[in-house]
Structure 1
Amino acid sequence: MTTTTVPTLTLLGRLREHATRKPSVPACVFTSDDGEDEQTLTYAELDRDIRTIATGLRARLDPGDRALLLLPEGADFVRGFLGCMRAGVIPVPAYPPLPVQSRQRVETLRAVVADCGPRAVLSAASTEDKDAIRRVVPDLGDVWWSGPGELLDGGAPDEAAEYQATPEDIAFLQYTSGSTSTPKGVVVTHGALAHNVEMIRTAFGLDEEPRMASWLPLFHDMGLIGNVLHPLWAGGTTILMTPMTFLKRPARWLRAISRHRANVTGAPNFAYDLCTRRVRASESADLDLSSWRVAYNGAEPVRAASLDAFAERFAAHGFDPRSWWPCYGLAEATLLVTGGDPRREPSRLTVDRDAFQRDVVVPADEGTVLVSSGFTSMERTVLIVDPETLRPVPPGHVGEIWIGGPHLPIGYWGNARATEETFAARPVGGPPEPYMRSGDLGFLHDGELYVTGRCKDLLIVGGRNHYPQDIEATVEESHDAVRKGCVAAFAVDDGDRERVVVVVGAGQGAVGVGEAAAAKRAAIVRAATVAVAAEHGITLDDVAVVGPNAVPKTSSGKLRRGACRTAYLRGEYLLGAKPERTEET
């Protein structure tokens, strides 16, 4: 663990410095849906715009009021978010529930609104769409609605209206993705934000200012903090495209990296798999990825096979495997917890599979290959604890990841009980200071953290532990019609025992009526059942083959196994049922 001076300046203070010292340097570049046309905001222009928006907000709101941001990824979101912070208004990023037929998005928004009680909504939607949102979320009917465009047209910035934030003030509420439970609002202070973006800056180890090319959603911590607020803190530039722009044609992300000479960017593991599979040779012919110094990989298990396949596919285009930077973080820690050494390839560890199923880590020549998520820095600490006894586990054992050190978020908004349980945990017989419980499983080896899964997702079959992502990876490779990142494994208690169920998102005509589709589904079920039995010694009790978009995911691409299990129990995956589209971004 390295020690670095903790910053005392807030992000707002850094932005004012950049606007003064480098006014003409691009802060953000926004690309169109086709990935070609661009709009640039310099630091001076961004500073002017957010001060103007802050002036308009202060005419209607007081410091500490919450403003819900229902804005698409782009200039309006960045200006609106920072304008709220400049006014002392607490921004609450949320995903616009459009179309309103998406039950998942509507339910999530209702929960967020009920929890934080916003006094305003910032939206750039049409009047028709705003009315539709009000109908499905009635609590938004009586609040003030405006948009960054309207506020920018309302006048000039008034410095007297700006709020002088301190490190102890609340910067924003970051609602958790809801991958395992109802979303809760993490209270991020200006001090916690400054500490984390400085941690990211130093951990990346760049000898130049960051140039980030990003498609990640901005209402999620990785996209917002890692790919926008961190470069703004460091005085760099972010090139932004929408998630849909990337998902429609993954090559657009790589082309943006090549065209703008981006030196740092990243995404969840599935994005690299998508590029490996779907970027055609004709699309990559003139790619130059040699500027890419830090390729971070986080938000879901990092797979060694994914790293190897991507590096091999794009080696001829200048991608250096030493750029890989697996990391671990979560909203409750603001974002980053651990990251690798940017000067070398990430550490890998092969462990004995049988011992690992007993939560014991035994290095072996053959077995399960794990990728390190790096180490801590800047006074951040990690402790591995038995989630049942709350005692630190011995070396070489898997346990829950507890996170300590200064400048963490201060808790969940308006939820004292959950705050006490999550942010004030104290290990039995361990250090006296409080820790934040992550709910994630992992272990330490040679000072580096290896993340193995979620506590609540763990499957226990025949007295052995099985990580769902391992089963999912096996199913993904069992048949060529199975879509990568669209398989969810979970347990269902039928009263007598836990049944192991796998929901498989598949293409190639596997979904639909007719003999051909039925035969394809049967082949997938057989292949998945045989592969899991051979690899893990588990007999699957049910395999449901569905369309890939019917497998629920969070905004960052993580599987929502809890939501998938709920849909399964509701009968939404029965033949003939029509589950709603649940894949976000």
Structure 2
Amino acid sequence: MEQFQTLIEIIQDRASRAENGIIFISGDTQEEYVSYSQLLEQALQVLHQLQEKGVQPGNKLIMQIEDNHTFVNVFWGCLLGGIVPVPVSIGNNDEHKMKLFKIWSTLTCPYMIADHKVLEQLEKYSHQHEMLDFFDSVKEATFSSHDFDYSDQNKGTIHQSRPEDLAFIQFSSGSTGDPKGVMLTHENLVYNIRDITNQTGMTSSDAYLGWMPLTHDLGLIAFHLTCVIAHAKQLIMPTALFIRRPSLWLKKVSEHKVTQICSPNFGYKFFLDQYKSKTADNWDLSSVRMILNGAEPISVELCHVFMEAMSVHGLKKNIMYPVYGLAEASVGVSTPPLDKDNFVTIHLNRQQLHVGEPIEEVDSSDKRCLTFEDLGY
């Protein structure tokens, strides 16, 4: 693989080639294809309009954008201009709104780009909690995600970022205490996505379908950015669409001959709970060469149930790989080797798991047994 120094070098190289890009899925029959060349073009248009508003290299820009196409345009526009994007998940409950305000307070003079609906919800929340003065300062530095004009052919000025420069800030999805921002440099991200690509054997002949939110490290780094460096085709399905119609996930895998998918453990159960074999008679999942399972504890039993159920559609039974990652390490930490048994289960005495205690392996029938999955190297 080529030796890139920054994410900017990667997108410029991929845009210079004719093949592959992103398919944005918004429904059963609603899809939009954007090549990597078009992505670069649109990101530079966004950058121009941000620079016209006075956003400078090094400024932080909180992203509250639901539409995936707009999200990637803004994200790459920021990277190209040396602006630091801060993707934050959009939540409907008060806890998420307070988290956003805490993140705002953590950053120095940030800007925000947000959907109209997000601003309305924040204003309502601020009124209920007597925080209108604070909200007014937020609103003053906020741009609407609906105002970008792609008929404007002007392009922004690219900032010459260095490997050690801050690329973006990732706020951990951990639920304890105040939100903590992980500062990721171009070097952090280039190394991690390169290594994920090498470990999974991803190439430009692969097609990867993901439904995890792009505000999550699994969706943004392990999926979107890794596909870009691998120059693979990527299909992005909104998380809300997967929640409404989980069967559409594998239906699209069949239609597009997708080779790689990924989900947290719960996604496989959620899919199975609503799966009806009679509506999937014509599915062909034989193109899938790898399924990654990460982001939460893994149930080996559930993995086997899912793979067995989907084998009737041609899915190979030995292609699910349990993996581990965390935001503080960009995303990827460990994967099992591709040439060995991908499920290695360890049964331990649950009464001897404190720090400093020697672990004791027990039989799976032992009442003290707690089962763990080996997540590779």
TM-score by length of 1: 0.59
TM-score by length of 2: 0.89
1 CA distance for matches of 2:12 and 2:36? Answer: 9
**Is 353-362 or 60-69 further displaced after alignment?**
353-362
Contact 2:203–2:231 (8 Å) recurs in 1? no
Instruction: Tell me what 2:373 maps to.
Output: 371
Residues 247-266 of structure 1 aligned to structure 2 (within 5 Å): 247-266=243-262
Greater Rg, structure 1 or structure 2?
1
Letter in 2 for 1:163: H
Letter in 2 for 1:258: S
Of 19, 34, 40, the match for 1:41: 34
Give the SS at the match of 1:368. strand
How far apart are residue 37 of structure 1 and its match?
Answer: 0.7
Contact 1:73–1:218 (8 Å) recurs in 2? no
C-alpha change, 1:356 and 1:311, in structure 2 (3 Å) is farther
C-alpha change, 1:246 and 1:144, in structure 2 (3 Å) is closer
C-alpha change, 1:363 and 1:217, in structure 2 (3 Å) is same
How far apart are residue 207 of structure 1 and its match?
Answer: 5.4
Residues 261-410 of structure 1 aligned to structure 2 (within 5 Å): 261-354=257-350, 356-357=352-353, 360-366=358-364, 367-375=369-377
2 CA distance for matches of 1:131 and 1:281? Answer: 42
2 CA distance for matches of 1:6 and 1:38? Answer: 31
The number of equivalent residue pairs is 361
How far apart are residue 38 of structure 1 and its match?
Answer: 0.2
2 CA distance for matches of 1:72 and 1:10? Answer: 26
Instruction: Tell me what 2:201 maps to.
Output: 205
Of 75, 78, 85, the match for 1:91: 85
Q: CA RMSD in A?
A: 2.1
Residues 89-238 of structure 1 aligned to structure 2 (within 5 Å): 89-97=83-91, 99=92, 102-125=93-116, 129-134=118-123, 136=126, 138=135, 139-147=137-145, 149-158=147-156, 161-206=157-202, 208-238=204-234
Instruction: Tell me what 1:64 maps to.
Output: 58
Structure of greater relative contact order (alpha carbons < 8 Å, 6+ residues apart): 2
How far apart are residue 210 of structure 1 and its match?
Answer: 3.1
Structure 1, gaps ≥5 residues long: 376-585
Letter in 1 for 2:296: E
Instruction: Tell me what 1:409 maps to.
Output: none
Structure 2, gaps ≥5 residues long: 127-133
Letter in 2 for 1:226: A
Contact 2:298–2:322 (8 Å) recurs in 1? yes
Letter in 2 for 1:122: I
Percent identity of paired positions between Structure 1 and Structure 2: 25
How far apart are residue 324 of structure 1 and its match?
Answer: 1.0
Contact 1:65–1:89 (8 Å) recurs in 2? yes
Letter in 2 for 1:237: K
How far apart are residue 206 of structure 1 and its match?
Answer: 3.6
2 CA distance for matches of 1:105 and 1:140? Answer: 16
**Is 73-82 or 52-61 further displaced after alignment?**
52-61
How far apart are residue 202 of structure 1 and its match?
Answer: 0.4
How far apart are residue 78 of structure 1 and its match?
Answer: 0.7
Deviation string for 1:122-173 (max 9, x for gaps)? 22325xx524424536141221414265253444214xx1111111111100
**Is 348-357 or 313-322 further displaced after alignment?**
348-357
Give the SS at the match of 2:254. helix
Letter in 2 for 1:77: F
Deviation string for 1:355-389 (max 9, x for gaps)? 545654333442433211110xxxxxxxxxxxxxx
Letter in 2 for 1:79: N
2 CA distance for matches of 1:70 and 1:186? Answer: 18
Letter in 2 for 1:130: L
Give the SS at the match of 1:238. strand
How far apart are residue 345 of structure 1 and its match?
Answer: 3.4
Give the SS at the match of 1:203. helix
2 CA distance for matches of 1:272 and 1:37? Answer: 24
Of 6, 24, 30, the match for 2:24: 30
Deviation string for 1:104-139 (max 9, x for gaps)? 11111111111124532222325xx52442453614
Instruction: Tell me what 2:241 maps to.
Output: 245
2 CA distance for matches of 1:369 and 1:317? Answer: 30
C-alpha change, 1:131 and 1:354, in structure 2 (3 Å) is closer
Query: Segments of 4+ in structure 1 off by > 6 A?
Result: none
C-alpha change, 1:357 and 1:273, in structure 2 (3 Å) is same
2 CA distance for matches of 1:104 and 1:187? Answer: 23
Give the SS at the match of 2:116. coil
